[in-house]
Amino acid sequence: MRKIDARSRVALATFLLSALIGLLAAGSAAAAPFAYPANWKAGFVMDPVLKPRVGYVTDLSGLGITLRKDLQVYSPYNGVSAPAYKPLGQTSGLPNQVVTVAGVLANVSWSGVPGSPWSFSMYVSAENANLLRTRKQLGLPTLAINTLGFWIVNYDLIAKVWFEQCYPLVPQLFSGALNAPSTLDVRIHVADTPIQVSANIDVSVYDVYFEVIPAGNVSTTFHVATSAAQYINVPW
């Protein structure tokens, strides 16, 4: 785990203070300074008026498996502009504006303390849910996460533009390990019951929760932003 220099500590403290002020102003009770609840259903059908935050898991391999990229979801980028986060891929099929991902995020959070776990709640296809569930039931051959990529995008109501709110910057696909405080407490859960995206969409998905801690002697830097104009790069 990399140490944070003085300049980074000051920048991080300033950013956290700004985020805390924003949370207090909004009356949020979020426990973590980096907390990104996302409207996962909007990932499939975006509300053109509200434009809520959405997020995706682009890649996940490890634990002896690799999740398939089998969900087509919304991207605000129209093929003319492109996200800075390259693992998301290029938007295709105007006016549909879709990308293909492994999971649709419902929430991502991190305490901001280097070395503490990132927590993910996402929805995946039946095939990926079965893959994860079976692997867990048979016993995880390893807790290592070989590659993990995620991307969160939000709408800046003042600037009236979409902005990339959080994603791994260096490397863009990072490694780590499943958080397991004990052999009886391995932080991954796969729902047994599916949930339908909406009455008008014949797609059912499964809720998955997991926590990731850093791999030994490996550093990762994350891009985090509170608006289109304010962002910081934070080491993990």
The pLDDT tens digits for 10-53 are 555 555 555 444 443 333 333 458 999 999 999 999 998 999 99
**CA separation, residue 204 to residues 41, 59, 87, 135, 197 (Å):** 11, 20, 25, 21, 6
Average pLDDT, the chain: 88
Please write the tens of the pLDDT for every residue from 64-107.
999 999 999 999 987 667 899 999 988 876 666 899 999 999 99
Please write the tens of the pLDDT for every residue from 194-221.
999 988 888 999 999 999 999 888 899 9
More confident residue, 150 or 78: 150
pTM: 0.85
Beta strands in the chain (DSSP E): 34-37, 54-62, 65-66, 71-74, 98-101, 103-110, 118-124, 144-156, 161-170, 174-178, 188-190, 195-198, 201-214, 221-225, 231-235
Percent above pLDDT 90 for the chain: 72
